[in-house]
């Protein structure tokens, strides 16, 4: 009941509700086809790329809900142009290092 009242109050007052964004879904197959191009080992490159993208997506998924919403949004926008989970992971890791550097010392 309390949750309902909080939600209703937020809607009435126009307050933003904090919620995590969803993990972006990229077309890894299109990315990997582009990477493989006309390589003599196109099938091998394609397989390796798809495997790598899948591993990156799974690793990101494990961390996604624990990331601040601003990191989710910023990094999703950064990686959106390429549709590359590796680029998304790189951004997340960079943001994590930045946050750690900004944290006050104990």
Identify the pLDDT of residue 46: 94
Cβ distance 60 to 85 under 8 Å?
yes
Per residue in 84-106, pLDDT (tens digit) is 999 999 999 998 876 656 666 65
The pTM of this model reads 0.71
- What one-character-per-residue DSSP string does 34-98 give? HHHTT-TTHHHHHHHHHHHHHHHHHHHHHHHTTS-HHHHHHHHHHHHTTT-HHHHHHHHHHHHHH
Q: What is the pLDDT of residues 40-58, one digit of tens each?
A: 899 999 999 999 999 999 9
Question: In angstroms, rounded to a whole number, what is the distance separating the alpha carbons of residues 60 and 64?
Answer: 6
């Amino acid at each position: 009941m309390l949750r309902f009242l909080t939600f209703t109050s937020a809607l009435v007052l126009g307050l933003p509700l904090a919620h995590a964004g969803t993990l972006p879904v990229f077309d890894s197959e299109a990315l990997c086809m582009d990477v493989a191009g006309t390589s003599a080992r196109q099938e091998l490159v394609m397989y390796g790329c798809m495997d790598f993208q899948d591993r990156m997506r799974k690793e990101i998924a494990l961390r996604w809900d624990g990331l601040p919403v601003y990191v989710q949004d910023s990094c999703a926008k950064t990686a959106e142009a390429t549709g590359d989970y590796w680029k998304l992971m790189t951004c997340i890791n960079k943001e994590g290092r930045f946050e750690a550097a900004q944290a006050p010392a104990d």
